């Protein structure tokens, strides 16, 4: 059924269609509307046989999920940013224990400086946590991928994180096609846990493992993720058969194979890029996009296959490893190094959209133009106010007690008009 609703409501309704049994939550912008809506669905009786609990922290929330999932419940929660970091220990634990929890991450920057707006710093902070990490471009995909996430998690007995850009998707009201219960039931069978705390068949979960077997256990986690590369594709196909839509999968190519210049990106920015390349292609540019829908597992083969004809690759990402650079870019580098068909491709790493900075078509277009002229640097911070940075560096050089950086820059940009205090 077509609906014009916010991304958060769409996801909440999709999750409800998956018949979750336990949902703990803790509020944090920008995911809060999802769990608020689920709360209403449970409290009003629209979602039955489900225990919903507003707990005292994200750490508790993920821990609650761990207990619930280990006891055999289909379990869901959502968080973002600082909340993800606060639950971090439990995030690793959930995957280490192999518990098929589904969590929405309403992607948001990480402080300090505190910032509630969108980027991918939170998702990237857990890139080694052992979770499956899927990214969505639109609200339709968001709701579709959540349905697939449960099936995927339960097939692998691994937790799945659906990454959805905060505000840009969560708060955007768009048209979505909401499936009906019968369709979802057809796609997603009841949860049969691989391991379960059961008094009829007692089991110890979470034993200590020493050097003698730790490597094997960790290797198995890696092995599971590699299995997911196949299963994700299979499930996307199965999904398309039942729901009639292409949603999910490992990667999505928009003219990537037939273009000289190819953007690689994840999440909602792909939508803006699509709008851009439609313009550019009509102007005669050879430009495409490769959208990464699965970040973990990292679909190196699929990526390289899509990029094999590209001359210039612009890896656009909304986060970076401070002191190193683009995370996705370095992973793409690594993948292309291994892939024999790709030789001599130019890869530029573009960091943009940090802390909610608007990603405009115009700025993206400039990147393409520069790339076309062979002028695009290996590392670009898109729309960086270089002068502001230079002035702050000077202040720091001039004065040991130059004060807090964030506040200095705000003052410099005139956002804060207070006069200097000393």
The residues in 16-35 that bind other proteins, with binding defined as CB under 8 A, are 21-22, 24, 30
Q: Is 111 one of the binding residues for other proteins (CB under 8 A)? A: no
First to last CA, the chain: 61
Q: Give min distance, CB of 179 to other proteins, in A.
A: 18
Binding of residue 49 to other proteins (CB under 8 A): yes
Query: 187 to 226, contacts with other proteins by CB under 8 A?
Result: 194-199, 201-210, 212-213, 216-217, 219-221, 223-224
Residues 6+ apart with CB under 8 A from 213: none
- Using rule CB under 8 A, residue 316 touches other proteins: no
Residue 335 lies near other proteins (rule: CB under 8 A): no
- Residue with Cβ nearer other proteins (120 or 392): 120
Of 217 and 390, nearer to other proteins (C-beta) is 217
Q: Which stretch binds other proteins (CB under 8 A): 51-59, 141-149, 243-251, 332-340?
A: 51-59
Counting contacts by CB under 8 A, is residue 385 touching other proteins?
no
Quote the tokens at residue 417: 């008009």
Cβ atoms of residues 312 and 349 within 8 Å: no
Please, which residue, 270 or 327, has the CB nearer to other proteins?
Answer: 270
- The b-or-e profile of 141-175 (16+ CB within 10 A means b, else e) is bbbbbbbbbbbbbbbbebbbbbbbbbbbbbbbeee
Least distance between other proteins and beta carbon 288 (Å)? 14
Q: Are 262 and 310 in contact (CB under 8 A)?
A: yes
The one among 175, 182, 246, 405 contacting other proteins by CB under 8 A: 175
Distance of CA 84 to the CA centre of its chain: 12
Residue 289 within binding range of other proteins, rule CB under 8 A: no
DSSP 352-393: --GGG----HHHHHHHHHHHHTT---SEEETT--HHHHHHHH
- Please give the Cα distance from 337 to 99 (Å, whole number): 34
Cα–Cα distance for residue pair 419/417, rounded to 1 Å: 6
Q: Which stretch binds other proteins (CB under 8 A): 177-185, 264-272, 322-330, 408-416?
A: 264-272
Residue closer to other proteins (CB basis): 4 or 401:
4
Decide if residue 269 touches other proteins (CB under 8 A).
yes
Q: How far is the CB of 401 from other proteins (least distance, A)?
A: 30
- Work out the angle between the directed axes of helices 300-307 and 327-338 (0-180°, nearest 10): 80
| Residue 77 to residue 68: CA distance in whole angstroms | 11
Structure-token pair, residue 133 = 């990490």
Please say which residue, 113 or 394, places its beta carbon nearer to other proteins.
113
Query: Which residue, 66, 48, 49, is CA-closest to 58?
Result: 66
CB of 138 within 8 A of CB of 9?
Answer: no
User: Per rule CB under 8 A, is residue 329 in the interface with other proteins?
Assistant: no
Stretch that binds other proteins, among 161-169, 228-236, 292-300, 315-323 (CB under 8 A): 161-169
Q: Does the footprint of other proteins cover residue 63 (CB under 8 A)?
A: yes
Q: From CA 49, how far away is CA 36, in angstroms rounded? A: 18
Tell me whether residue 23 or residue 250 sits nearer to other proteins (CB atom). Answer: 23
Q: Which of residues 363-382 bind other proteins (CB under 8 A)?
A: none
Structure tokens at 301: 């083969």
- Choosing from 16, 184, 356, 376, the residue that interacts with other proteins (CB under 8 A) is 356
Residue with smaller CB distance to other proteins, 141 or 336? 141
Count of residues in contact with other proteins, rule CB under 8 A: 90
* Cβ atoms 366, 347 nearer than 8 A: no
> Of the two residues 18 and 347, which places its CB atom closer to other proteins in the complex?
18
Minimum distance, C-beta of residue 355 to other proteins, in the bound complex (Å): 11
In terms of C-beta density within 10 A (0-12 exposed, 13-18 middle, 19 or more buried), how is residue 350 classed?
buried
**Is 288 a binder of other proteins (CB under 8 A)?**
no
Q: Tell me the residue length of the chain.
A: 422
* 83 is an interface residue for other proteins by CB under 8 A: no
416 binds other proteins (CB under 8 A): no
- Position 114 contacts other proteins (CB under 8 A): no
- What is the CB-side half-sphere exposure of residue 38 using CA atoms within 13 A? 33
To other proteins, the closest distance from the beta carbon of 393 in angstroms equals: 29
Among 64, 243, 316, 320, binds other proteins (CB under 8 A): 64
């Amino acid at each position: 059924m077509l609906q014009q609703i916010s991304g958060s409501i769409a996801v909440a309704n999709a999750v409800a269609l998956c018949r979750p049994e336990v949902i703990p939550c803790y509020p944090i912008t920008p995911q809060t509307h999802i769990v608020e809506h689920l709360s209403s669905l449970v409290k009003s009786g629209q979602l039955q046989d489900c225990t919903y609990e507003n707990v005292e922290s994200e750490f508790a929330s993920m821990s609650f999920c761990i207990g619930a999932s280990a006891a055999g419940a289909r379990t869901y929660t959502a968080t973002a940013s600082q909340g993800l970091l606060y639950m971090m220990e439990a995030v690793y634990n959930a995957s280490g224990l192999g518990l098929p929890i589904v969590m929405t991450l309403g992607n948001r920057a990480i402080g300090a400086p505190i910032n509630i707006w969108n980027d991918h710093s939170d998702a990237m902070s857990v890139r080694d946590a052992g979770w499956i990490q899927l990214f969505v471009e639109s609200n339709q995909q968001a709701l579709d991928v959540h349905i697939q996430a449960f099936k995927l998690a339960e097939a692998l007995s691994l937790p799945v994180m659906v990454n959805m850009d905060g505000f840009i998707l969560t708060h955007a009201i768009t048209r979505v096609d909401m499936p009906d219960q019968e369709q979802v039931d057809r796609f997603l069978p009841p949860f049969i846990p691989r391991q379960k705390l059961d008094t009829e068949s007692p089991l110890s979960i979470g034993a200590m493992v020493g050097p003698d077997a730790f490597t094997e256990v960790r290797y198995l986690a890696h092995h599971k993720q590699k299995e997911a590369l196949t299963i994700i594709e299979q499930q996307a196909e199965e999904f398309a058969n039942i729901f009639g839509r292409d949603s999910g999968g490992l990667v999505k190519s928009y003219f990537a194979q037939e273009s000289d210049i190819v953007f690689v990106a994840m999440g909602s920015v792909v939508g803006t890029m699509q709008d851009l390349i439609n313009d550019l292609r009509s102007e005669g540019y050879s430009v495409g996009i490769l959208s990464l829908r699965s970040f973990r597992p990292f679909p190196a083969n699929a990526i390289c296959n899509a990029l094999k004809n590209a001359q210039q690759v612009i890896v656009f990402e909304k986060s970076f490893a401070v002191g190193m650079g683009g995370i996705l870019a370095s992973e793409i580098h690594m993948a292309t190094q291994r892939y024999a068909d790709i030789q001599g491709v130019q890869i530029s790493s573009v960091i943009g959209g940090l802390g909610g900075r608007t990603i405009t078509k115009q700025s993206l277009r400039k990147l393409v133009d520069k790339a076309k002229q062979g002028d695009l640097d290996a590392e670009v911070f898109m729309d960086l106010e270089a002068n502001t940075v230079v002035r702050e560096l000077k202040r720091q050089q001039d004065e040991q007690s130059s004060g807090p950086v964030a506040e200095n820059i705000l003052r410099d940009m005139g956002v804060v008009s207070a006069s200097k205090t000393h």
